[in-house]
Structure 1
Amino acid sequence: MWTLLLALILLGLFIFYNTFVIVEMREEVILERFGKYHDTLHPGLHFTIPLVDRVAYRQETREQVLDVPHQKCITQDNIEVDVDGIVYLKVMDAYKASYGINDYRLAAVNLAQTTMRSEVGKITLDDTFSERDSMNEAIVEELDKASDPWGVKVMRYELKDIQPSQDIVLTMEKQMEAEREKRAEITESSGERDARINVSEGNRQKSILMSEGQREARVNEAEGEAREMELIAEATANGIERIADAIAQPGGSLAVKMRLTEQFIDRLGEIVDGANVSVLPMEAANLKSFFEGASEVTNPIQNK
């Protein structure tokens, strides 16, 4: 009795387990009947016929992340680099993903590696670091075309690491060091050039200011001399005018005659003292003629 009861319980559990199928939210289930595709079961509780229906595949419907292993690639300029990446994909059709290909994950990874080698071979080493986005887009486009019959959508692809060989790394470091030295020399020469320009500009401004100062000095000096001459001329004219006025006064003519006589006698004495011979007038009348001539000179001035 106990053996029969246990057998019935096991049979009931077997029938129950094969009669009801629970599908989770993150997946879809492919149901086969007599080994042939029957239905795609979506999340929830489903009834099946024991020994007739069976769950053939359970497909993940969430976005999946697959790691693309490192591989050697040759760039357009024949440089060997080690490249790896990450591919993001999602099952859009559980039927195609189950019957369209044996293992879509393995196929996606292998195809990503092949496409990645092809894209890296189209560009140079320098461009592999700056053209990551365009390479990612090209790889996604190629993967998406190939994965459409599998019922899989490639969401995106990311190049994770691009590592040149050690020799190339050393060469690049030397190149960058040389480039930095070149920029430093250019910067230094530009600074020296600017300094020379500033010095020459300062000298030019200095020369301009000095010449303007000298010009102003000459102008001021000339104006001063002109003013001095003007004042001397004005003073001389005033003196002559005053002399003329004085001569016109009573007794002025006599004063002028006396002054001229004194000057003549003084000058004559100086000449006689300085001469080695004695100088006397040839005629005594010459003195009289001199005084009469002086009178004739002063009379017109007095009459004015």
Structure 2
Amino acid sequence: MLSRLSTVKASQFLRVAAAPSQLLSRSISTSTPQYALNTVINFVPQQEAWVIERMGKFHKILEPGFNVLIPVLDRIKYVQSLKEIAIEIPQQGAITLDNVQLHLDGVLYLRVIDPYKASYGVDDPEFAVTQLAQTTMRSEVGKISLDTVFKEREQLNVCIVEAINKAAEPWGLVSMRYEIRNMTMPARIQEAMQMQVEAERRKRAAILESEGQRDAAINVALGEKQSRILASEASMQEKINEAKGQASAIELQGEARRKAIDYVAAALNKQGGSNAASLVIAEQYVKAFSGLAKESNTLIVPANANDINSMVTQALTVYNQVTKAQAAATVVESVPAEPAKPSNTEN
């Protein structure tokens, strides 16, 4: 008995090793592979489910690992892969809401969640899911326009997955995701879309250029305004400073003139002041007379220009008269005015 079991186990391992490509290439199995034969002691690989029939009726589903079956009575009818698989959806035509024909193909990712339903619910799961994906894609594309197909491509994939899951639930299959791989359209539609894109880009460029020119003009105007304001403020401050400078200069000149006059007056009141004044006047007369006939040939000179003494005497006489007049005015201002006498009027 032990030798028979060892022989059966060895033959099973040889069959599994001889057909690895067949195991890997099969995604959803609807028939029994060659290596899945009832050998009494059976080892189910991980992520596989073996559907067992006893005398032609469903009996149970074998879990991964060690399992014992009754020969002749038990039969491994189906082997289902529980891995997530990818099924290529062939290219097909679809018409959008705005009557544009598109050709789309994609990839569907699904997985078996109920081996019993996948075995007895549908004859060929791959073919059924492929046809369901194609019809669902055409239905969903017909609900939206061409522009929406490109903008909401992800949402379109989600809608297709939801529709497939509702229809494939009795088959024990669940769609994980669907991806639209290629999307083609007629050449004229492509040319029209290209022209639309170019026109939109030119529009954006023109808008951006006009906005740039507007902003540049505003910046230039603001700059000129600020420049003129600053220039006017600078000119005003300059004039104020010049006026203050001239006023200060006049005040300083007047103060210097007053001090000079005070010094001259004090010097004249001293002993020998008259003689000093006569000397200064004589020097100024000689200096002024020496400058005659330098700028013009026409001269008007006094008759006694050669008599310096008489000129000095005349200048001193004028000075004395002015001094006496000032002294008399000072005395008049210092005398208080007499009050007016009341008048006696008889009634």
TM-score, scaled relative to structure 1: 0.73
Distance in 2 (CA, whole Å) between partners of 1:214 and 1:77 is: 71
Given that 2:97 and 2:146 are in contact with CA atoms closer than 8 Å, whether structure 1 keeps it comes out as yes
| Structure 1 partner of 2:196 | 175
Post-superposition shift, 1:222?
0.8
Higher relative contact order, structure no. (Cα contacts within 8 Å, ≥ 6 residues apart): 1
1:226 is displaced (CA, Å) by: 0.8
Change (3 A) 1:296 1:64: closer
Determine helix, strand or coil for the equivalent of 1:87.
strand
Residues 46, 245 of structure 1: alpha-carbon distance in 2 compared, 3 angstrom cutoff: same
Where do 1:187-226 residues align within 5 Å? Answer: 187-226=208-247
Mark the CA change 1:292 to 1:38 in structure 2 (over 3 Å): closer, same or farther. closer
Query: Can you list the C-alpha shifts for 1:20-66, whole angstroms capped at 9, x where unaligned?
Result: 3746414333333333223333444533332x443332322222221
Residue identity matched to 1:47: L
Cα-Cα RMSD:
3.5
Q: Does structure 1 residue 48 correspond to structure 2 residue 70?
A: yes
Q: How far 1:128 sits from its partner (Å)? A: 1.8
Q: Which residue matches 2:40?
A: 20
- 2:158 matched residue in structure 1: 137
Question: 1:257, CA displacement in angstroms?
Answer: 9.3
Classify the secondary structure of the residue corresponding to 1:56. strand
2:58 equivalent in structure 1 = 37
The match for 2:90 among 69, 89, 109 is 69
Matching residue of 2:339: none
Indicate if the aligned counterparts of 2:42 and 2:69 stay in contact, CA closer than 8 A: no
Partner of residue 158 from structure 1, selected from 174, 179, 182: 179
Do structure 1's residue 97 and structure 2's residue 124 form an aligned pair? no
Q: What is the rounded CA distance, in whole Å, between the counterparts of 1:246 and 1:239 in structure 2? A: 10
- d(CA) in 1 for partners of 2:327, 2:209: 89
Report if aligned partners of 2:52, 2:75 keep a CA contact under 8 Å in 1. yes
* Structure 1: distance between partners of 2:168 and 2:206: 54
Distance 2:318 2:54 in 1: 167
Q: Determine the C-alpha separation between the residues in 1 that align with 2:189 and 2:240.
A: 75
Preserved contact between residue 23 and residue 41 of structure 1 (Cα < 8 Å):
no
Residue aligning to 1:233: 254
Q: Secondary structure at the match of 1:73?
A: strand
* Residue number in structure 1 paired with 2:267: 246
TM-score, normalised relative to structure 2 = 0.65
Residues in 2 aligned to 1:255 and 1:61: alpha-carbon distance in whole angstroms: 137
The aligned counterpart of 1:3 is none
**Aligned partners of 1:292, 1:23: CA distance in 2, in Å?**
154
Q: 1:247 to 1:20 in 2, by over 3 A?
A: same
Q: Compared with structure 1, are the counterparts of its residues 293 and 99 closer, same or farther at alpha carbon in structure 2 (3 Å cutoff)?
A: closer
Deviation at 1:19, TM superposition (A): 5.4
Letter in 2 for 1:48: I
SS in 2 for 1:49: coil
Indicate how the Cα distance of structure 1 residues 73 and 241 shifts in structure 2: closer, same or farther if over 3 A, else same: same
Change (3 A) 1:18 1:271: closer
> Which SS does the other structure have where 1:69 is aligned?
strand
Give the Cα–Cα distance (whole angstroms) in 2 for the partners of residues 301 and 252 of structure 1: 18
The code of the aligned residue for 1:298 comes to: T
Offset of residue 218 of structure 1? 0.9
**CA-to-aligned-CA distance 1:140-184 (integer Å, 9 cap, x gap):** 222112212112222222222222222111111111112222222
Aligned counterpart for 1:185 among listed residues 206, 210, 217: 206
1:148 is the counterpart of 2:173 = no
Q: What stretches of structure 2 of length at least 5 have no aligned partner?
A: 1-10, 12-36, 290-299, 304-315, 331-347
Partner SS for 1:81:
strand
